[in-house]
Structure 1
Amino acid sequence: MMISFFDQFASPTYMGIPLIAIALVFPWVLFPSPTNRWINNRMISMQSWAVNRFTQQLLLPLNPGGHKWALILISLMVMLLSLNMLGLLPYTFTPTTQLSMNMGLAVPLWLATVIIGMRYQPTAALGHLLPEGTPTPLIPILISIETISLFIRPLALGVRLTANLTAGHLLIQLIATAAFALLPMVSVSVLITTVLLLLTLLEVAVAMIQAYVFVLLLTLYLQENV
Protein backbone atom coordinates (compact mmCIF):
# COMPACT_ATOMS: atom_id res chain seq x y z
CA MET A 1 0.00 0.00 0.00
CA MET A 2 1.37 3.38 -0.99
CA ILE A 3 1.60 6.04 1.69
CA SER A 4 0.04 9.38 0.83
CA PHE A 5 2.31 12.42 0.74
CA PHE A 6 -0.28 14.30 2.75
CA ASP A 7 0.06 11.98 5.75
CA GLN A 8 2.83 14.25 7.05
CA PHE A 9 0.23 16.98 7.65
CA ALA A 10 -1.99 14.81 9.84
CA SER A 11 -1.76 15.62 13.54
CA PRO A 12 0.36 12.83 15.10
CA THR A 13 -0.94 10.89 18.08
CA TYR A 14 0.76 8.61 20.60
CA MET A 15 -1.40 6.15 22.52
CA GLY A 16 -4.43 8.14 21.48
CA ILE A 17 -2.98 11.43 22.77
CA PRO A 18 -2.52 14.22 20.17
CA LEU A 19 1.04 15.51 20.16
CA ILE A 20 0.15 18.93 18.76
CA ALA A 21 0.14 20.34 22.32
CA ILE A 22 3.81 19.38 22.74
CA ALA A 23 4.62 20.91 19.36
CA LEU A 24 2.98 24.17 20.48
CA VAL A 25 4.74 24.33 23.85
CA PHE A 26 8.18 23.10 22.83
CA PRO A 27 9.38 26.28 21.03
CA TRP A 28 8.95 28.36 24.18
CA VAL A 29 11.35 26.07 26.06
CA LEU A 30 14.14 26.97 23.61
CA PHE A 31 14.03 30.71 24.28
CA PRO A 32 16.29 31.92 27.09
CA SER A 33 14.65 33.62 30.04
CA PRO A 34 15.79 37.18 30.87
CA THR A 35 17.70 37.64 34.08
CA ASN A 36 18.38 40.51 36.47
CA ARG A 37 22.10 40.52 35.74
CA TRP A 38 23.79 43.68 34.52
CA ILE A 39 25.34 41.88 31.55
CA ASN A 40 23.31 39.36 29.57
CA ASN A 41 24.68 36.62 27.39
CA ARG A 42 24.80 36.88 23.61
CA MET A 43 21.59 34.92 23.06
CA ILE A 44 19.48 37.13 25.30
CA SER A 45 21.05 40.28 23.85
CA MET A 46 20.33 39.14 20.28
CA GLN A 47 16.79 38.16 21.22
CA SER A 48 16.13 41.54 22.87
CA TRP A 49 17.56 43.42 19.90
CA ALA A 50 15.43 41.48 17.41
CA VAL A 51 12.25 41.96 19.44
CA ASN A 52 12.89 45.69 19.87
CA ARG A 53 13.56 46.22 16.18
CA PHE A 54 10.49 44.26 15.16
CA THR A 55 8.34 46.13 17.68
CA GLN A 56 9.46 49.50 16.33
CA GLN A 57 8.82 48.40 12.74
CA LEU A 58 5.42 46.94 13.55
CA LEU A 59 4.05 49.79 15.65
CA LEU A 60 5.35 52.58 13.41
CA PRO A 61 2.14 53.04 11.34
CA LEU A 62 -0.19 52.52 14.33
CA ASN A 63 -1.80 55.25 16.39
CA PRO A 64 -0.90 55.37 20.10
CA GLY A 65 -4.15 53.56 20.85
CA GLY A 66 -2.93 50.53 18.94
CA HIS A 67 0.32 50.30 20.91
CA LYS A 68 -1.56 48.40 23.62
CA TRP A 69 -1.49 45.42 21.26
CA ALA A 70 2.31 45.31 21.21
CA LEU A 71 2.64 42.36 23.60
CA ILE A 72 0.01 40.29 21.77
CA LEU A 73 1.49 40.97 18.33
CA ILE A 74 5.08 40.29 19.37
CA SER A 75 4.12 37.08 21.16
CA LEU A 76 2.16 35.95 18.10
CA MET A 77 5.10 36.73 15.83
CA VAL A 78 7.58 34.81 17.99
CA MET A 79 5.24 31.82 18.26
CA LEU A 80 4.53 31.60 14.51
CA LEU A 81 8.19 32.08 13.63
CA SER A 82 9.28 29.37 16.07
CA LEU A 83 6.66 26.88 14.91
CA ASN A 84 7.42 27.50 11.24
CA MET A 85 11.17 27.15 11.66
CA LEU A 86 11.11 24.08 13.92
CA GLY A 87 8.69 22.40 11.53
CA LEU A 88 11.46 22.28 8.91
CA LEU A 89 13.56 19.91 11.03
CA PRO A 90 13.39 16.18 10.27
CA TYR A 91 10.91 14.06 12.25
CA THR A 92 9.01 17.11 13.47
CA PHE A 93 5.46 18.34 13.05
CA THR A 94 4.41 21.83 11.96
CA PRO A 95 1.20 22.89 13.75
CA THR A 96 0.80 25.89 11.43
CA THR A 97 0.06 23.55 8.51
CA GLN A 98 -3.29 22.86 10.20
CA LEU A 99 -6.03 25.18 8.93
CA SER A 100 -8.00 24.74 12.14
CA MET A 101 -5.16 26.18 14.23
CA ASN A 102 -4.52 29.09 11.87
CA MET A 103 -8.21 29.95 11.77
CA GLY A 104 -8.29 29.68 15.55
CA LEU A 105 -5.62 32.40 15.66
CA ALA A 106 -6.98 34.56 12.82
CA VAL A 107 -10.70 34.72 13.64
CA PRO A 108 -10.53 35.90 17.31
CA LEU A 109 -7.82 38.48 16.62
CA TRP A 110 -9.61 39.82 13.52
CA LEU A 111 -12.90 39.91 15.42
CA ALA A 112 -11.22 41.83 18.26
CA THR A 113 -10.06 44.54 15.84
CA VAL A 114 -13.59 44.83 14.40
CA ILE A 115 -15.18 45.05 17.86
CA ILE A 116 -12.69 47.73 18.91
CA GLY A 117 -13.53 49.78 15.83
CA MET A 118 -17.29 49.42 16.33
CA ARG A 119 -17.01 50.36 20.00
CA TYR A 120 -14.70 53.36 19.95
CA GLN A 121 -15.26 54.85 16.48
CA PRO A 122 -18.31 53.26 14.86
CA THR A 123 -18.67 56.00 12.24
CA ALA A 124 -15.15 55.51 10.88
CA ALA A 125 -15.46 51.71 11.08
CA LEU A 126 -18.70 51.71 9.09
CA GLY A 127 -17.30 54.34 6.75
CA HIS A 128 -14.85 51.77 5.35
CA LEU A 129 -17.82 49.93 3.86
CA LEU A 130 -18.67 52.81 1.55
CA PRO A 131 -16.01 54.93 -0.21
CA GLU A 132 -16.63 58.66 -0.27
CA GLY A 133 -18.24 60.03 -3.44
CA THR A 134 -19.88 56.77 -4.48
CA PRO A 135 -22.81 57.22 -6.92
CA THR A 136 -26.19 56.44 -5.37
CA PRO A 137 -27.05 53.44 -7.63
CA LEU A 138 -23.77 51.73 -6.68
CA ILE A 139 -24.16 52.12 -2.91
CA PRO A 140 -25.88 48.74 -2.23
CA ILE A 141 -23.45 46.88 -4.47
CA LEU A 142 -20.34 48.43 -2.91
CA ILE A 143 -21.62 47.89 0.63
CA SER A 144 -22.24 44.21 -0.17
CA ILE A 145 -18.78 43.80 -1.72
CA GLU A 146 -16.99 45.54 1.17
CA THR A 147 -18.94 43.51 3.73
CA ILE A 148 -17.97 40.26 2.02
CA SER A 149 -14.34 41.37 1.81
CA LEU A 150 -14.43 42.23 5.53
CA PHE A 151 -15.59 38.73 6.49
CA ILE A 152 -13.12 37.09 4.10
CA ARG A 153 -10.14 38.66 5.89
CA PRO A 154 -9.73 35.99 8.62
CA LEU A 155 -10.16 33.25 6.02
CA ALA A 156 -7.44 34.84 3.90
CA LEU A 157 -5.12 35.03 6.92
CA GLY A 158 -5.54 31.37 7.83
CA VAL A 159 -5.55 29.96 4.30
CA ARG A 160 -2.48 31.99 3.23
CA LEU A 161 -0.36 30.67 6.09
CA THR A 162 -1.60 27.10 5.69
CA ALA A 163 -1.26 26.97 1.90
CA ASN A 164 2.26 28.41 1.76
CA LEU A 165 3.68 26.10 4.42
CA THR A 166 1.85 23.03 3.11
CA ALA A 167 2.98 23.64 -0.48
CA GLY A 168 6.61 24.14 0.59
CA HIS A 169 6.71 21.00 2.76
CA LEU A 170 5.03 18.93 0.06
CA LEU A 171 7.43 20.14 -2.63
CA ILE A 172 10.44 19.33 -0.44
CA GLN A 173 9.12 15.81 0.15
CA LEU A 174 8.47 15.26 -3.56
CA ILE A 175 11.97 16.36 -4.56
CA ALA A 176 13.56 14.34 -1.74
CA THR A 177 11.67 11.25 -2.93
CA ALA A 178 12.92 11.85 -6.47
CA ALA A 179 16.50 12.23 -5.19
CA PHE A 180 16.34 8.84 -3.43
CA ALA A 181 14.69 7.19 -6.44
CA LEU A 182 17.38 8.47 -8.82
CA LEU A 183 20.27 7.74 -6.45
CA PRO A 184 21.98 5.27 -8.90
CA MET A 185 22.24 8.09 -11.45
CA VAL A 186 24.95 10.10 -9.71
CA SER A 187 24.85 13.23 -11.86
CA VAL A 188 21.05 13.54 -11.77
CA SER A 189 20.97 12.78 -8.05
CA VAL A 190 23.54 15.51 -7.32
CA LEU A 191 21.54 17.99 -9.39
CA ILE A 192 18.29 17.16 -7.60
CA THR A 193 20.03 17.33 -4.20
CA THR A 194 21.31 20.81 -5.06
CA VAL A 195 17.80 21.87 -6.03
CA LEU A 196 16.54 20.39 -2.75
CA LEU A 197 19.10 22.38 -0.76
CA LEU A 198 18.12 25.62 -2.51
CA LEU A 199 14.44 24.84 -1.98
CA THR A 200 15.09 24.25 1.72
CA LEU A 201 16.73 27.67 2.00
CA LEU A 202 13.73 29.16 0.19
CA GLU A 203 11.36 27.41 2.57
CA VAL A 204 13.25 28.87 5.54
CA ALA A 205 12.69 32.34 4.06
CA VAL A 206 9.03 31.53 3.41
CA ALA A 207 8.57 30.38 7.01
CA MET A 208 9.96 33.67 8.30
CA ILE A 209 8.09 35.84 5.78
CA GLN A 210 4.72 34.17 6.33
CA ALA A 211 4.94 34.71 10.09
CA TYR A 212 5.73 38.37 9.47
CA VAL A 213 2.96 38.77 6.87
CA PHE A 214 0.37 37.23 9.20
CA VAL A 215 1.15 39.72 11.97
CA LEU A 216 1.58 42.63 9.53
CA LEU A 217 -1.86 42.12 7.98
CA LEU A 218 -3.36 41.88 11.44
CA THR A 219 -1.67 45.19 12.26
CA LEU A 220 -3.16 46.79 9.15
CA TYR A 221 -6.61 45.59 10.18
CA LEU A 222 -6.02 47.08 13.61
CA GLN A 223 -4.85 50.36 12.08
CA GLU A 224 -8.24 50.82 10.39
CA ASN A 225 -10.08 50.53 13.71
CA VAL A 226 -8.00 52.57 16.15
Structure 2
Amino acid sequence: MDLKEKTFGEMLKESVSYLHENENVWKNLAVIAANVAALDENEQELDHAFKAQDEHDPGGHVAQKNEQLSVFFRKIYKVGRKLSFYAKETGDKVLLNDADVHESTFVLLPEKEALIKCSTILKRGNEYLSKTAAYGITALELNNLTDELSALEKMKPKIGIIMNDRKSARRSIKEVIAEARLLLDKLDDAFEGMIDDDAFIDGWFAVRKIKGRHKPHGKNDKGTDENN
Protein backbone atom coordinates (compact mmCIF):
# COMPACT_ATOMS: atom_id res chain seq x y z
CA MET A 1 0.00 0.00 0.00
CA ASP A 2 1.14 3.57 -0.54
CA LEU A 3 1.26 6.20 2.21
CA LYS A 4 -2.04 7.81 1.24
CA GLU A 5 -3.84 4.46 1.33
CA LYS A 6 -2.23 3.61 4.67
CA THR A 7 -3.30 6.96 6.13
CA PHE A 8 -6.86 6.46 4.91
CA GLY A 9 -6.92 2.93 6.33
CA GLU A 10 -5.83 4.19 9.74
CA MET A 11 -8.48 6.94 9.67
CA LEU A 12 -11.15 4.41 8.68
CA LYS A 13 -10.18 2.05 11.49
CA GLU A 14 -10.30 4.92 14.02
CA SER A 15 -13.68 6.05 12.67
CA VAL A 16 -15.21 2.59 13.03
CA SER A 17 -13.77 2.28 16.53
CA TYR A 18 -15.23 5.69 17.46
CA LEU A 19 -18.66 4.63 16.21
CA HIS A 20 -18.61 1.45 18.29
CA GLU A 21 -17.53 3.39 21.37
CA ASN A 22 -20.49 5.75 20.90
CA GLU A 23 -23.05 3.24 19.70
CA ASN A 24 -25.70 4.56 22.08
CA VAL A 25 -25.86 7.82 20.08
CA TRP A 26 -26.95 6.28 16.75
CA LYS A 27 -27.97 2.62 17.27
CA ASN A 28 -31.72 3.39 17.40
CA LEU A 29 -31.64 5.18 14.04
CA ALA A 30 -32.05 2.36 11.52
CA VAL A 31 -30.76 4.18 8.43
CA ILE A 32 -27.60 5.26 10.24
CA ALA A 33 -27.11 1.82 11.80
CA ALA A 34 -27.30 0.22 8.34
CA ASN A 35 -24.56 2.50 7.01
CA VAL A 36 -22.40 1.92 10.07
CA ALA A 37 -22.73 -1.84 9.56
CA ALA A 38 -21.71 -1.41 5.91
CA LEU A 39 -18.74 0.73 6.97
CA ASP A 40 -17.71 -1.91 9.50
CA GLU A 41 -17.69 -4.59 6.78
CA ASN A 42 -15.84 -2.24 4.45
CA GLU A 43 -13.10 -1.63 7.02
CA GLN A 44 -12.59 -5.38 7.50
CA GLU A 45 -12.47 -5.90 3.73
CA LEU A 46 -9.88 -3.15 3.35
CA ASP A 47 -7.76 -4.67 6.10
CA HIS A 48 -7.85 -8.04 4.32
CA ALA A 49 -6.95 -6.37 1.01
CA PHE A 50 -3.94 -4.68 2.62
CA LYS A 51 -2.78 -8.03 4.05
CA ALA A 52 -3.28 -9.78 0.70
CA GLN A 53 -1.19 -7.15 -1.04
CA ASP A 54 1.59 -7.49 1.54
CA GLU A 55 1.58 -11.29 1.17
CA HIS A 56 2.06 -10.94 -2.59
CA ASP A 57 4.87 -8.41 -2.28
CA PRO A 58 7.58 -9.84 -4.58
CA GLY A 59 10.34 -8.08 -2.67
CA GLY A 60 10.19 -10.52 0.22
CA HIS A 61 10.11 -13.60 -2.02
CA VAL A 62 13.01 -12.44 -4.16
CA ALA A 63 15.14 -11.36 -1.19
CA GLN A 64 14.64 -14.72 0.50
CA LYS A 65 15.49 -16.63 -2.66
CA ASN A 66 18.60 -14.51 -3.33
CA GLU A 67 19.86 -15.01 0.21
CA GLN A 68 19.45 -18.77 -0.03
CA LEU A 69 21.14 -18.84 -3.42
CA SER A 70 24.08 -16.84 -2.09
CA VAL A 71 24.64 -19.31 0.76
CA PHE A 72 24.20 -22.28 -1.57
CA PHE A 73 26.60 -20.92 -4.20
CA ARG A 74 29.24 -20.48 -1.51
CA LYS A 75 28.92 -24.14 -0.50
CA ILE A 76 29.11 -25.31 -4.12
CA TYR A 77 32.11 -23.07 -4.72
CA LYS A 78 33.95 -24.74 -1.83
CA VAL A 79 33.21 -28.18 -3.29
CA GLY A 80 34.48 -26.90 -6.63
CA ARG A 81 37.70 -25.71 -4.99
CA LYS A 82 38.28 -29.17 -3.52
CA LEU A 83 37.68 -30.81 -6.88
CA SER A 84 39.92 -28.26 -8.61
CA PHE A 85 42.68 -28.99 -6.12
CA TYR A 86 42.37 -32.70 -6.84
CA ALA A 87 42.23 -32.08 -10.62
CA LYS A 88 45.41 -30.00 -10.54
CA GLU A 89 47.14 -32.59 -8.37
CA THR A 90 46.27 -35.36 -10.81
CA GLY A 91 46.37 -33.39 -14.07
CA ASP A 92 42.68 -34.09 -14.79
CA LYS A 93 41.89 -31.27 -17.21
CA VAL A 94 38.34 -32.45 -17.93
CA LEU A 95 37.44 -32.36 -14.24
CA LEU A 96 39.20 -29.02 -13.81
CA ASN A 97 37.17 -27.53 -16.64
CA ASP A 98 33.91 -28.45 -14.89
CA ALA A 99 34.95 -27.71 -11.31
CA ASP A 100 37.01 -24.54 -11.65
CA VAL A 101 34.17 -21.99 -11.47
CA HIS A 102 34.79 -18.65 -9.78
CA GLU A 103 32.33 -17.76 -7.03
CA SER A 104 31.31 -14.54 -8.79
CA THR A 105 30.34 -16.54 -11.88
CA PHE A 106 27.40 -18.08 -10.04
CA VAL A 107 26.07 -14.62 -9.22
CA LEU A 108 26.64 -13.14 -12.67
CA LEU A 109 25.04 -15.97 -14.61
CA PRO A 110 21.26 -16.22 -15.09
CA GLU A 111 19.86 -18.32 -12.27
CA LYS A 112 19.04 -21.33 -14.46
CA GLU A 113 22.57 -21.48 -15.88
CA ALA A 114 24.14 -21.02 -12.45
CA LEU A 115 22.12 -23.92 -11.05
CA ILE A 116 23.16 -26.10 -14.00
CA LYS A 117 26.82 -25.42 -13.13
CA CYS A 118 26.05 -26.32 -9.51
CA SER A 119 24.47 -29.56 -10.67
CA THR A 120 27.53 -30.36 -12.78
CA ILE A 121 29.90 -29.82 -9.85
CA LEU A 122 27.76 -32.07 -7.63
CA LYS A 123 27.69 -34.72 -10.35
CA ARG A 124 31.48 -34.57 -10.64
CA GLY A 125 31.77 -34.74 -6.88
CA ASN A 126 29.82 -37.99 -6.80
CA GLU A 127 31.81 -39.43 -9.71
CA TYR A 128 35.11 -38.71 -7.95
CA LEU A 129 33.89 -39.38 -4.41
CA SER A 130 35.98 -42.50 -3.91
CA LYS A 131 39.12 -40.62 -4.95
CA THR A 132 38.64 -37.35 -3.07
CA ALA A 133 38.09 -38.35 0.56
CA ALA A 134 41.49 -36.92 1.43
CA TYR A 135 40.42 -33.61 -0.10
CA GLY A 136 37.46 -33.24 2.28
CA ILE A 137 34.61 -34.30 0.00
CA THR A 138 32.00 -36.52 1.68
CA ALA A 139 28.85 -38.31 0.56
CA LEU A 140 26.87 -36.53 3.28
CA GLU A 141 27.94 -33.12 2.02
CA LEU A 142 27.07 -33.97 -1.58
CA ASN A 143 23.69 -35.46 -0.62
CA ASN A 144 22.76 -32.42 1.45
CA LEU A 145 23.73 -30.06 -1.36
CA THR A 146 21.77 -32.12 -3.87
CA ASP A 147 18.69 -31.78 -1.65
CA GLU A 148 19.26 -28.04 -1.36
CA LEU A 149 19.57 -27.73 -5.13
CA SER A 150 16.29 -29.56 -5.63
CA ALA A 151 14.55 -27.30 -3.12
CA LEU A 152 15.91 -24.15 -4.76
CA GLU A 153 14.76 -25.28 -8.19
CA LYS A 154 11.22 -25.82 -6.87
CA MET A 155 11.25 -22.53 -4.97
CA LYS A 156 11.68 -20.28 -8.01
CA PRO A 157 9.47 -17.24 -7.36
CA LYS A 158 6.91 -16.80 -10.12
CA ILE A 159 7.33 -13.03 -10.21
CA GLY A 160 4.81 -12.50 -13.00
CA ILE A 161 2.10 -14.27 -11.02
CA ILE A 162 3.10 -12.47 -7.83
CA MET A 163 2.96 -9.10 -9.55
CA ASN A 164 -0.44 -9.84 -11.10
CA ASP A 165 -1.84 -10.88 -7.71
CA ARG A 166 -0.36 -7.75 -6.16
CA LYS A 167 -1.94 -5.55 -8.85
CA SER A 168 -5.28 -7.31 -8.32
CA ALA A 169 -5.04 -6.61 -4.60
CA ARG A 170 -4.22 -2.99 -5.37
CA ARG A 171 -7.30 -2.63 -7.61
CA SER A 172 -9.36 -4.15 -4.82
CA ILE A 173 -7.93 -1.63 -2.36
CA LYS A 174 -8.85 1.29 -4.60
CA GLU A 175 -12.39 -0.03 -5.02
CA VAL A 176 -12.88 -0.62 -1.30
CA ILE A 177 -11.53 2.84 -0.44
CA ALA A 178 -13.88 4.44 -2.97
CA GLU A 179 -16.81 2.66 -1.33
CA ALA A 180 -15.61 3.71 2.12
CA ARG A 181 -15.47 7.37 1.06
CA LEU A 182 -19.12 7.23 -0.03
CA LEU A 183 -20.18 5.63 3.24
CA LEU A 184 -18.22 8.13 5.31
CA ASP A 185 -19.66 11.03 3.34
CA LYS A 186 -23.20 9.77 3.95
CA LEU A 187 -22.51 9.36 7.66
CA ASP A 188 -21.09 12.89 7.82
CA ASP A 189 -24.44 14.20 6.56
CA ALA A 190 -26.47 11.79 8.68
CA PHE A 191 -24.79 12.78 11.93
CA GLU A 192 -25.11 16.51 11.30
CA GLY A 193 -28.69 16.18 10.12
CA MET A 194 -30.06 13.62 12.57
CA ILE A 195 -27.90 13.78 15.70
CA ASP A 196 -28.15 16.64 18.20
CA ASP A 197 -25.12 15.63 20.28
CA ASP A 198 -22.51 18.28 19.44
CA ALA A 199 -19.79 16.52 21.44
CA PHE A 200 -20.30 13.32 19.44
CA ILE A 201 -20.30 15.19 16.12
CA ASP A 202 -17.19 17.19 17.04
CA GLY A 203 -15.46 13.95 18.03
CA TRP A 204 -16.53 12.31 14.77
CA PHE A 205 -15.07 15.01 12.57
CA ALA A 206 -11.92 15.09 14.71
CA VAL A 207 -11.42 11.37 14.04
CA ARG A 208 -12.26 11.94 10.38
CA LYS A 209 -9.64 14.71 10.36
CA ILE A 210 -12.06 17.11 8.68
CA LYS A 211 -11.56 20.67 9.88
CA GLY A 212 -14.33 23.25 10.09
CA ARG A 213 -17.14 20.87 9.07
CA HIS A 214 -19.24 21.13 12.22
CA LYS A 215 -20.23 24.69 13.20
CA PRO A 216 -23.00 24.39 15.79
CA HIS A 217 -23.16 28.15 16.32
CA GLY A 218 -23.64 29.34 12.78
CA LYS A 219 -21.10 28.96 9.96
CA ASN A 220 -21.37 25.92 7.75
CA ASP A 221 -18.13 26.11 5.75
CA LYS A 222 -15.99 23.04 5.47
CA GLY A 223 -12.45 22.11 4.60
CA THR A 224 -11.55 18.52 4.01
CA ASP A 225 -8.35 16.60 4.26
CA GLU A 226 -7.57 14.96 0.90
CA ASN A 227 -7.31 11.54 2.58
CA ASN A 228 -10.93 11.59 3.68
Q: TM (normalized to structure 2)?
A: 0.31
Is the radius of gyration larger for structure 1 or structure 2?
A: 2
Q: TM (normalized to structure 1)?
A: 0.31
